[in-house]
Each structure stands twice: as C-alpha cells, then as structure tokens.
Structure 1
C-alpha cells in the first residue's frame, strides 16, 4: 500500500530526513518516535506533500505521489489527511463548521465563499462528532472547547475527507493525560473500525507501545528502529533518544497511573529529607 524509498529532505547542509525507507503492506497503526528535531514532522509533511522531498519517493498503490502537482497533488492530500498538534481550527467558528472544512477540497469556490453546505454533509459531520463523543458540542464556538475536545474536532474534520491514510503530528503533545488517552483511543478505533492507516508522531514510549502495531524510531533524520512494540526495549529507546544509562521511560509517560506513582515517589523522597 505505502512504499517510502530513500526519502530525503535537505535544508542547506542539514538533512532533516536522511534516506528514510520503509514499506507498509496493509492498513496499520504506526507510531513514530524520537527526540525533538529527529525529523518526525518533516517525514509526515513529505508523505502528505506539505513539504517537497529533496530526493527519494513515496509510492501508494503503485502511484508515485512525490511527483504529483496541481489538482492531482490536492487530491492526494484529501486522501492523506493531516492532524496537527495545535489543532489548526478556526476558533470563532462553530464546531460543525470546522468539521465541514474537511470537504473544502471538493466544493466550488462560490460555495466556499458563502459557506454553503449540503444537508448530507452537515448530517455526516454530526454523525462523526457523535462517534467521537462530542456531538453536543456541534453548535458551540470551537474556542469554548477544551484542548482534548478541540483535537477530536480536528480528527472529525480529517474524517470528513474520507481519507485512506491519517497522519497525526504530535496529536497529544499539548494535552493532559486523560485527554491524551481519549484522543489515542479515538485514533485506534478509527484504524480498527474503518481499516484506515494511521501514522502518528508520538513523544512517549508507553503511548507507542499501547496503541500502535508498529513503531519507527528516528534519530538525526534517520530511521534507526523499525519493529513491534514488544521489540522496543529500554536499551533500544536509549539509542533512539541518544540517552545515557540514567534514561527513564517514566519521564516520558502519559499514563495516569505512572504519573501518580512518580508523584508519590517524589512526595516520599521529600518527606524523608
């Protein structure tokens, strides 16, 4: 389904992504991990064609999408939806209008100017919001929602595109642990129930292990690990993050139970002092 071959993005003398190569034969949920600046976001942006590759190719079902231009490129971007860390919603618009923006690629300029949507699209938008547990928020202005709710609106907007692939760039980085779990559970359900490929940049190891079928580790623009969650040992994680023996997975955790244990350990340590 998806073949990435020697994909490279160079900025001056620096390679943000250096000859990334991997193949995905069927719809899978993949987590991409690595420290800040490892090239994770650039990789996703090249898959979606928001950023052009310096070299290499992305092939989907035999079609080289790195060569697409104009309408063909926009059509590919509608099939490969992007979800961002900062949501990229219109704060003053109501929730359902933000979701309907997922149909902009197939609407006329006139309809876009006057904000005209067919009833079928409006009903579908509300159905998607209901599926994500936030249908009651549909008439509210988006800026009134919590961060976790806004990210689910962004997921709903992506689903309005009816994409084959969903790319999520640090979708839970700005969320608290409870909302982070809700968002990841939503992405996992979409993968399982719809059969869509999901590729998510993640900053925590426990999240990658819990929700993903496959994990790709990046360091300095290169893929240094590609395997199952079970194969992602603490030793391999140290290599991916370039960390020493003092590396603690708990420091990257989004699990509420883990964070509670860490806080309790700190309280006990303070009490002993």
Structure 2
C-alpha cells in the first residue's frame, strides 16, 4: 500500500529527513517516535504533500505521490487525512460545521461561500460525532470544548473525508492523560473497525507500545528503529533518543495510574 524509498528533505544546508525508507503492505497502526527535531513531522507532511520531498519516492499502490500537482495532489490529500496537534478548528464555528469542513475538497466554491451542506452529509457528520462520543456537543462552538473533545472533532473532520490513510502529527501532545487515552483509543478503533491505515507521531513510549502494531524510531532525520512494540525496549529507546542510563520512561508516561502514583511527576510537567 505504502512505500517510502530513500525519501530526503533538506532546508538549505540542513537535512530534516535523510533517506527514509520503509514499506507497509496492509492497513496498520504505526507509531513514529523520536525527540523533537528528529524529522517526524516533516516525514508526515511529505506523505500528505504538504511539504515537497527533496528526493526519493513515496509510492501509494505504485503511484509516486511526490510528483502529483494541482488537482491530482488535492485528490490525494482528500484520501490522506491529516490531524494536527493544535486541532486546526475554526473556534467560533459550531462543532458539526467544523466536521463538515472535511467535505470541502468535493464541494463547489458557491456552496462553500454560503456554508451549504447536503442533508446526508450533516447526518453523517453527526453519526461520526456520535461514534466518537461527542454528538451532544454538535451545536456548540468549537472553542467551548475541552482540548480532548476538540481533538476528537478534528478526528471526526478527518473521517468525513473518508480517507484511506490518516496521519496524526502529535495528536496527544497537548492533552492530559485521560484525554490522551480517549484520543488514542479512537484512532485505534478507526484502524480496527474501518480497516484504515493510521500513522501517528508520538512522544510517549507506553502509548506506542499500547496502541500501535509497529513502531518506527527516528533520530536526527534517520530511521534508526523499525519493529514491533515488544522490541521497543528501554535500551532501544535510549538509542533512539540518544539518552544515557538516566533515561526514564516514567517522565513521559500517559498511564493515569503511573502519574497518580507519582504526584511529583505531575507537578513537574
């Protein structure tokens, strides 16, 4: 389904992603981990064609998406939904309208200008919100919701696109542990129930192990690990993050029971 071949992205003299290669032959939930600046976000943005690759190929069912332009690129982006850390909602619009923005790629300019939506799309948007447990918030302004609820609205908007692949760039980085688990479980359910590929950039190792089928580790723009969650040992994590023996996973854990047992960790965050 998806194959990256020596994908590289340079910004001037700096190389953000260096010859990244991996392939996925079936829908999976994949976590990409690494420290800030490791190239994770740039890699996802190249897959979505938000950032052009400097070299290499990204093949989806044999088609190199790095060469797409204009309408073909927009068509690919409609099949490859992107979820961002900061939600990217319209704060003053109601929740259901934000979800319906997932259909903008297939609507006319006139319909977009006057905010007109077919009844079937409105019903589908509410059904998706119900699936994510937030249908009762449909008429509220997006800005009135909590961070976790807003991220689920962003997931609902992505599902309105009916994508083949969902890319999530640090989807839980700004959320508390409870909401982080709700969002990750929603993504996992989408993968399992819909058969969609989900690729998420993550900072927390326990999250990658718990929700992902496969974990890719990046360091300084290079892929340095590609394996199963069981293979992601603390020693491997130290190599990925370039850390010494003092490295502790507890400082990044999203496990509620772990944080409850360590109030000094919560206070430090």
TM-score, normalised by the number of residues in structure 2: 0.98
Counterpart Cα distance in 1 of 2:78 and 2:190: 17
Question: Is residue 159 of structure 1 aligned with residue 159 of structure 2?
Answer: yes
Pairwise mapping of residues 73-152 of structure 1 onto structure 2 (< 5 A)?
A: 73-152=73-152
Structure 2 CA distance for aligned equivalents of residues 102 and 248 of structure 1: 39
Matched, 1:26 2:26: yes
Distance 1:182 1:265 in 2: 21
- The answer for the alignment partner of 2:227 in structure 1 is 227
Q: Is 1:211 aligned with 2:203?
A: no
Q: Is the 8 A contact 2:8 2:18 kept in 1?
A: yes
Deviations 1:107-131 (A, max 9, x none): 0000000000000000000000000
After superposition, the Cα gap between the structure-2 partners of 1:264 and 1:16, relative to the gap in structure 1 and judged at 3 Å, is: closer
User: Could you tell me which residue of structure 2 aligns to residue 270 of structure 1?
Assistant: none
Q: Deviations over 1:221-242 (max 9, x none)?
A: 0000000000001000000001
Say if 1:126 and 1:135, in contact at 8 Å, map to a contact too: yes
- How big is the shift at 1:264? 7.0
* 1:155-211 residue CA offsets vs partner (Å, 9 max, x unmatched): 000000000000000000000000000000000000000000000000000000000
* SS of alignment partner, residue 218 of structure 1: strand
TM, length-normalised to structure 1: 0.96
Q: What's the Cα RMSD here?
A: 1.2
Within-5 A mapping of 1:160-175? 160-175=160-175
Alpha carbons of 1:245 and 1:160: their partners in 2 closer, same or farther (altered >3 Å)?
same
**Structure ID, larger Rg:** 1
Relative to 1, partners in 2 of residues 1:122 and 1:214: Cα closer, same or farther, differing over 3 Å?
A: same
**Residues 65-109 of structure 1, C-alpha deviations (whole Å, 9 max, x = no match):** 110000000000000000000000000000000000000000000
1:263–1:162: structure 2 CA closer, same or farther, 3 Å change rule?
Answer: same
Equivalent pair of 1:48/1:80 in contact (CA under 8 Å): yes
CA drift of 1:13 comes to 1.2
Q: 1:170-209, aligned counterparts within 5 Å?
A: 170-209=170-209
Residues of 2 paired with 1:176 and 1:142: CA distance?
A: 18
Cα distance in structure 2, aligned partners of 1:118 and 1:264: 52
How far 1:261 sits from its partner (Å)? 2.2
1:240 aligns with 2:235: no
Runs of 4+ in 1 over 4 A off after TM superposition: 264-267
Indicate conservation of the 8 Å contact 1:250/1:262, yes or no: no
How many residues align structurally?
267
Task: Note the residue ranges of structure 1 that are not aligned, 5 or more in a row.
Answer: 268-273
Contact 2:2 / 2:25 at 8 angstroms: preserved in 1? yes
2-structure distance, mates of 1:223, 1:261: 34
* Contact 2:6–2:55 (Cα < 8 Å) also in 1: yes
Q: Does the alignment pair 1:63 with 2:36?
A: no
- Do the aligned partners of 2:259 and 2:265 also contact (CA within 8 Å) in 1? no
